Amino acid sequence: MSLVPCLSCERPVSTLATACPACGAPVLDDAPGCLSVVLGIAYAGLLLLGLGVGLLFLVALVAVVL
């Protein structure tokens, strides 16, 4: 067992874990390095997209209320 940095939050994660306990990102230690990086970037992009949509919804809701 060793520790590897999480692709999403950079915190150390056991190679035996299936997901990061801090952020829930999947641990892809057995996948080829390039695939791990691509999937990590895709996961981060989806997370940012979700946060952006949520922020836009919040701004629209505030605009409607005011």
Taking the C-alpha atoms of residue 50 and residue 16, their distance in angstroms, rounded to an integer, is 29
Name the strand (E) or helix (H) holding 5: strand 3-5
Is residue 49 within 8 A of residue 57, CB to CB? The reply is no
- pTM of the full structure: 0.41
Looking at residue 63, its pLDDT comes to 86
Looking at residue 53, its pLDDT comes to 82
pLDDT band at 60; cut points 50, 70, 90: confident
Query: What pLDDT digit, counting tens, does each position of 13-46 carry?
Result: 988 888 889 999 888 655 455 566 666 777 777 7
Taking the C-alpha atoms of residue 6 and residue 47, their distance in angstroms, rounded to an integer, is 15
Of 2-6, 23-27, 48-52, 59-63, the one with minimum mean pLDDT is: 48-52
Q: Domain locations in the chain?
A: 3-65
